[in-house]
Chain A
Amino acid sequence: MNEKIVKKFVPIAVYVLFILISLILGYGPGKEIGMNFAVFSIGMIKVLPCAFILIGLFEVWVKNETIKKHLGAASGFKGYVWAVLLSGTTIGGLYVAFPVAYSLYNKGARLSVIFTYLGASALCRIPMTIFEASFLGLKFSIIRLLVSLPLVIATSMLLGSYLTKNKYEILKGK
């Protein structure tokens, strides 16, 4: 256990030290890396508290049966439709979708639906798509959505059934 903690935190400590020394000595690349870290941390700090509070509320209020019924093994194709609709409202990016998908899975959503949710929340977030279209044109965004979504759903089905056959299980308790 101790060794694990050391392995996890030594690189982080080395990094922090490097950034601090760079700031003190005015070492350019170190300062720039530190800035990058700050900018991206702030971006995530803006999103993550909300995301995790909503996940917490989801865990206590939404019944397992509800998720099983709409996203579980017996939900059929509708499960994918729900996954895509749900993903449209996701904010931030994949890093927010991972914990959400994990909670959904623990509440009984099936694997293929989870993968569809992940892929779709990377590609179909509504605010992002609107922004994209304003810079690259509507045609570009529509082609992207129409080509990627069916591929995401199809490969999710394949990956889901492959993993289910191989008795894959996501670790509990994160």
Chain B
Amino acid sequence: MVYMYALTALALVVSFASNRRKTLKALKIALKKFLKILPAFLTMLILISIVLFLIPDQLIAEYLGHKNLSVALLFAALFGSITIMPGFIAFPLSGILLGKGVPYMIISAFTTTLMIVGVLSYPVEKAYFGTKVTIMRNAISFCIALVVALVTGLFFGEVL
């Protein structure tokens, strides 16, 4: 995070030193783009705040630990798709679940859909790429995540 600020500051300084007008134009573009997408971001944040209230971590942990492997897999992929969680929450949680005996395959379905499928970021993605592409990309990503989970299960000897 600190590197990112340092990098941005450095880029700005270098840019400003070599061309003032261009740099000011860049800042204008940045602000304009940000303001344009802001409503979509707000909608996403509102959705996140409500969904995370309805689906607390304990509930996720409970369903991921379901005895039936297929049921657990389905719930893991579903929860991963419809929630958003920063890595610093998701991975420690996964680590705990792993310790409790939840298979790698289930963890993989959860974390992979968490990363690549974004139901809650739909407002933002749609604003840039349109409804059709957003739905297609997410559907494809969901399938990719399931394949990743199954292969993970195979490699850890959890299926077959």
- 17 extra interface residue pairs, beta carbon distance < 8 Å, beyond A48-B34, A52-B33, A53-B26: A34-B49, A44-B41, A52-B30, A91-B1, A94-B118, A95-B121, A98-B121, A98-B125, A131-B91, A135-B91, A135-B95, A136-B111, A139-B156, A143-B148, A143-B155, A148-B116, A168-B132
Tell me if B130 and A171 are in contact (CB < 8 A).
yes
Tell me if A15 and B46 are in contact (CB < 8 A).
yes
Tell me if A29 and B30 are in contact (CB < 8 A).
no
Tell me if B112 and A123 are in contact (CB < 8 A).
yes
Chain A residues lying within 8 Å of B127, measured Cβ to Cβ, are 174
Q: Is A118 an interface residue (CB 8 A)?
A: yes
Docked CA distance A95–B25 (Å) = 24
Beta-carbon contacts under 8 Å, B95-126 to A: 95, 98, 104, 107-108, 111-112, 115-116, 118, 121, 124-125
Chain A residues lying within 8 Å of B31, measured Cβ to Cβ, are 52, 56
Beta-carbon contacts under 8 Å, B121-156 to A: 121, 124-125, 127-130, 132-133, 136-137, 140-141, 144-145, 147-148, 151-152, 155-156
Q: For the complex formed, measure the closest distance between the CB of B150 and the CB atoms of chain A, giving whole angstroms.
A: 9
Interface size class of B (residues with CB under 8 A): 35 or more
Tell me if A32 and B37 are in contact (CB < 8 A).
no
Query: If A56-B28, A98-B128 touch, does A148 touch B46 (CB 8 Å cutoff)?
Result: no
Tell me if B128 and A36 are in contact (CB < 8 A).
no
B residues adjacent to A (C-beta < 8 A): 1, 4-5, 7-8, 11-12, 15, 22-23, 25-31, 33-34, 36-37, 39, 41-46, 48-50, 52-53, 84, 86-88, 91-92, 94-95, 98, 104, 107-108, 111-112, 115-116, 118, 121, 124-125, 127-130, 132-133, 136-137, 140-141, 144-145, 147-148, 151-152, 155-156
Q: For the complex formed, measure the closest distance between the CB of A143 and the CB atoms of chain B, giving whole angstroms.
A: 5
Tell me if B15 and A57 are in contact (CB < 8 A).
yes
Query: If A53-B12, A56-B28, A60-B26 touch, does A155 touch B140 (CB 8 Å cutoff)?
Result: yes
Chain A residues lying within 8 Å of B12, measured Cβ to Cβ, are 53, 57
Tell me if A151 and B144 are in contact (CB < 8 A).
yes
Interface size class of A (residues with CB under 8 A): 35 or more
A-B contact pairs, 18 of them (CB 8 A): A9-B39, A33-B50, A34-B49, A36-B50, A36-B52, A37-B46, A44-B45, A50-B4, A56-B31, A57-B26, A60-B22, A60-B23, A102-B128, A132-B111, A135-B98, A136-B111, A147-B148, A148-B112
